[in-house]
Amino acid sequence: MEPAARDLFPGALEMMLLQALRREPMHGYALVQHIRQSSGDLLEIEEGSLYPALQRMLKAKWVTAEWGLSARNRRVRIYRITPLGRKQLERKVSAFERMLEGIARAMKARTS
Amino acid sequence: MNFSDLNDEMHKHLQEKIADLMERGLSESEARAQALPEFGNRTLYLEDSRNVWRWGWIDRLNQDFRHALRGMRRSPGFTAIVIATLALGIGANTAIFSLVNQLLLHPAGIDLPERVVAVRTRYTKLKLLDIGVSAPTFADLRNSRQVFDHAAITRAVDLNYTDSDTPQRLIGAAVTSEWFDVFGARPLLGRVFRAEEDEPNANHVAILSYAAWERLFSGDRSVIGRTIRLSQSSYQVIGVMKPSFRFPQNADLWTPLGWPTDQFAEMFRFNERFFAVARLKPGVSPRQASAWMDVLTSRVRQSNLPWVTEAKWGLFDIAFTDSFAGATKTPLLVLAAAVGFVLLIACSNIAGLMLARASARSREFAVRSALGAGRGRLLRILLTESAALAAAGGTAGLALAYGATRLLLQLAPESASAGLSPALDAYVLLFCGATVIFSGLLFGIVPAWRISRSDPNEALTGGRSSTAERKRQRLRSALVIAETAFALVLLVAAGLFLRSFVQLEAANPGFNPGGVMTASFTLPTAAYPDGQKQAEFYRTLLERLRSTPGVASAALGYPIPFSGIDESGAFDIEGYVPPPGDPGPHGDDRFVTPGYFEALSIPLLRGRSFTDQDRVTTQPVAVIDDVLAQRYWPGKDPIGQHIKLGPVTCTIVGEVGHVLHSDLAADSGRGAYYFTLFQRAGRMASVVVKTKGEPAAIAPAVREAVRATDPHQAIYSIRPMEEMVAASLAPRQFGMRLLGFFGATALFLAALGLYGVISYSVAHRTREIGIRVALGASSSSVIREVVGQGLKLAGIGAGLGICGAALSGRVLAHQLPGVAAFDPLTLSAMAAALLTAAFVASYLPALRAARVDPVTALRNE
């Protein structure tokens, strides 16, 4: 099985993580589950690849993290989006939509 | 918040996931088996996460560097060989560079040395190719303010310093006032000369060299203003120079030249007796300065007698550093090239070793690459290893260079090493650093490139005869071929030097230096104002010497062979009109006493030599040598002919053999004429004593004879004549020995490289050889095959080396008298030496191959 995350465009994983965290703070494993389920199992990301992305986001101060408890009462690190992260998400989404539209048009032009 | 808990966090992640999967009914081991691959490469992600926070490349460099150090510790043998080889290469280069730097690039004590030129004269037709300048020419230089900021001349003066217990001879330099400005030299104490001290009678002031100040005055600062007695005149000390300034060479002190104004007249234009230097004006290029020399030359030619043009009189300039380095320059540059070759060979050798080691480590690299290390990363790891090795080798090389420079200066003949210091200055450190980087890249880049390109799959699945392996072996063979070629070039160069040297040693100088002791003196004008007084001194001194036990014969002469002094002049022959285009008779002047030809065993070919009856009151006489005789009296007897020197007409009474005066390698081609000191006395002369025993043993007696004749008279340069002749060859001999040493080093390194390649190939082919032996191949045929492989590589290398040697021989032949550019004897001897070494280097692994036991060899796979 090809790790799907490697085929994502750069920044896609971060965008999805920010989107997920905008709804509620989550720990790493829950984030993976969320993305997997909300994508209807279409996206298979290698779970480990989450962590370098989260570290990048921590460094950029888009998210914060603190230790808390999981649903199973395990000590886990919970990530929370910051106002800066929200702004970044908006920028990312609109850029993503423009790109998607561009790709879609190009594909149509090719087939017609 | 940082990544410090990340490992823990990932661990928790997996636990959560496994618990989740177990809730769905999987067993713990099934859950684990599914969870781990879905998570991916934890180590890699951990490292990626860490890299988010770290200072990227510096950190990786540090990591790679530590990895490299671990690698070096793991294989101490490899590391030691690489560092030793490199230290040798870098050390030799740094040591030779240190000398090149001090002699040619940045001699101490000169500000912007590349702006200082020496101005010289030549009379091409008279075979006078590089002599000093005259006073009128100096005046022209001083007036060339659009080209030169400063110009000065100097002339050696010998001074007897009599304030000490025994009279000492000081080497003085009479200079014009701008001498120190030309070099940009400032005094340590006091001042330099002023323009008004150029006036003829204002010149009783002196500036001491640092060494003389220490020696004579123990570094006493109150010496400034003190009056000292030099050659029975008073001089006031006005300055002490800095220790770095020592031009002209070995000067103890400087005094103003004070040349009489009337001597600057045009009639003294061709009285070349000064050494001239000048500093280029800022913005004036050396080429413009040379063009200006041509302008001055044509001015003089236009306004003078036609013979000036016919003799091809001309002025030219050379870099002061070149004139200062003199005869040392060529051997030094040859050596610099030689050590460059040694470094190239050392680097090829290390590259070969790195390739072999890389083959052994190919699995390690394959694993790294399978674990996600990119090609760039592998390259970086390998290059960091090379850099670490180069740095270690460079450090060892620097230490070696310091020791080697000290040793070189100790072993070098004094004429070549005077004034040089073993200290490593900033230029040398910079050069050493550049050499380290250059060699690190040279031996690191090829193996790194080769390895990072190899396919990890192949290495992991372990195909022994993989293509990557074959390519590597090919590359190593190419390196060995290059090494042998370089080594042969170097060996042939050393061989040519040796041949030339042997021929020179066997050269007949035209006299017999054996058993001859010499010593020199300069009589002060105050005590010996005229020829009569001087002749009295000679006569008394010679009588004392001749009655000394152990003396076979004694005489005086000036200048004597191999003393470094030479003089020449024009004369007229009675009844001889030079043909058009001929500048007229010219020859080297020699002044001797009766007994001189006998003491030096110079053969008398015709007529008689000088006798005690030749005096001021009798007919002036001269003796000529056979070169002069054949030049002007071809096929005739010159005895009884007359030559004219100004107003004096001399009768030729004898003809003697020609003598090589200053160089066994090159005859000046000029003839010489001799006068007797009893008719034409002078202040300077040398004692020439033929002894019955060991010449050195007579030295105290010579000293005593001079002291007894005049207790105020200093003597100097007390040396056996054989030593003087040998000293003229010493720089050559020293260069030859060093070149021989480097040639041997190159040969050894090349043999080592070949040994490495063949050993590796044998180890690699153990299975194949085992099969052959099992199929009935005899051990001698195995040996033949392996040795053949080695000789083939060495043979190709030797072939290329011969081409290289032929090219370098063409350059060397110009510098090496008596040697042809392409010398088949040297070439074949050195090629044979190389092939012998190659035979030994491949015979040892061949023996190992022959002992391969087919059973173990096959089982190993």
Check if B580 contacts A (Cβ < 8 Å).
Answer: no
A 9-28 residues with CB < 8 A to B: 27-28
| Candidates A29, A48, A72; nearest CB to B45 | A48
Report the distance separating Cα B513 and Cα B722, nearest Å.
Answer: 5
Helix (H) or strand (E) holding B235: strand B233-241
CA B853 to chain centre: 54
DSSP string, B21-69: HHHTT--HHHHHHHHHHHH--HHHHHHHHHHHHS-HHHHHHHHHHHHHH
- pLDDT, mean of residues B76-85: 85
pLDDT at B600: 95
| Candidates A3, A52, A74; nearest CB to B48 | A52
Interface contact B15-A46, CB threshold 8 A: no
Check if A46 contacts B (Cβ < 8 Å).
Answer: yes
pLDDT at A68: 84
Report the distance separating Cα A88 and Cα A16, nearest Å.
Answer: 12
pLDDT at A2: 35
Express each pLDDT in B749-793 by its tens digit: 899 888 888 888 887 788 888 888 888 888 888 899 899 999 999
Interface contact B5-A77, CB threshold 8 A: yes
* Residue extents of the structural domains in chain B: 3-54, 113-327, 465-508+730-861, 525-711
Do residues B473 and B382 lie in contact, with contact meaning Cβ atoms separated by under 8 Å?
no
Amino acid at A4: A
Report the distance separating Cα B305 and Cα B302, nearest Å.
Answer: 8
Residues of chain A with pLDDT under 70: 1-8, 110-112
Cα dist. B444→B326, B354, B569, B687, B699 in Å?
39, 8, 62, 63, 60
Task: Evaluate if residue B248 carries a pLDDT over 90.
Answer: no
Specify the CATH architecture of the domain A7-111: Orthogonal Bundle (1.10)
**Mind telling me how many Å the CA of A34 is from chain B's nearest CA?**
13
Do residues B317 and B119 lie in contact, with contact meaning Cβ atoms separated by under 8 Å?
yes
Interface contact A49-B12, CB threshold 8 A: no
Express each pLDDT in B414-440 by its tens digit: 766 767 777 788 889 999 999 998 888
Report the distance separating Cα B208 and Cα B222, nearest Å.
Answer: 13
Helix (H) or strand (E) holding B700: helix B699-709
Express each pLDDT in B648-687 by its tens digit: 899 999 999 999 998 887 787 789 999 999 999 888 899 9
Cα dist. A104→A96, A107, A109, B28 in Å?
12, 5, 9, 46
DSSP string, B754-792: HHHHHHHHHHHTHHHHHHHHHTT--HHHHHHHHHHHHHH
Nearest residue of A to residue B52 by CA position? A56
Tell me if ipTM is over 0.85.
no
Grade residue B1 by pLDDT with cuts at 50, 70 and 90. Answer: very low
In chain B, what's the furthest Cα-to-Cα distance? 138
**Mind telling me how many Å the CA of B59 is from chain A's nearest CA?**
17
Helix (H) or strand (E) holding B652: strand B648-656
The per-residue pLDDT of chain B, averaged, comes to 86
Nearest residue of B to residue A4 by CA position? B38
**B783 contact partners, CB below 8 Å, separation of at least 6:** B843, B846, B847, B849, B850
Interface contact B39-A28, CB threshold 8 A: no
pLDDT at B57: 63
Rg (CA), chain A: 16
Interface contact A55-B53, CB threshold 8 A: yes
Please return the burial class of B625, using the count of CB atoms within 10 Å of its CB with bins 0-12, 13-18 and 19+.
buried
pLDDT at A5: 42
pLDDT at B2: 52
pLDDT at B461: 60
Which of B265, B208, B48 lies closest to A54 in space, CA to CA? B48
Give SS3 for B169. Answer: strand
Do residues B344 and B486 lie in contact, with contact meaning Cβ atoms separated by under 8 Å?
yes
Report the distance separating Cα B181 and Cα B662, nearest Å.
Answer: 32
**Mind telling me how many Å the CA of B24 is from chain A's nearest CA?**
15
pLDDT at B392: 92
pLDDT at B278: 95
Report the distance separating Cα B94 and Cα B104, nearest Å.
Answer: 15
What's phi and psi for B642, nearest 5 deg?
-120, 140
Check if A6 contacts B (Cβ < 8 Å).
Answer: no
Rg (CA), chain B: 37
**Mind telling me how many Å the CA of B40 is from chain A's nearest CA?**
6
* Residue extents of the structural domains in chain A: 7-111
Express each pLDDT in B443-497 by its tens digit: 888 777 777 666 666 656 655 556 667 777 788 888 889 999 999 999 998 898 8
Interface contact B39-A76, CB threshold 8 A: no
**In DSSP terms, which residues pair with B237 in a beta bridge?**
B206
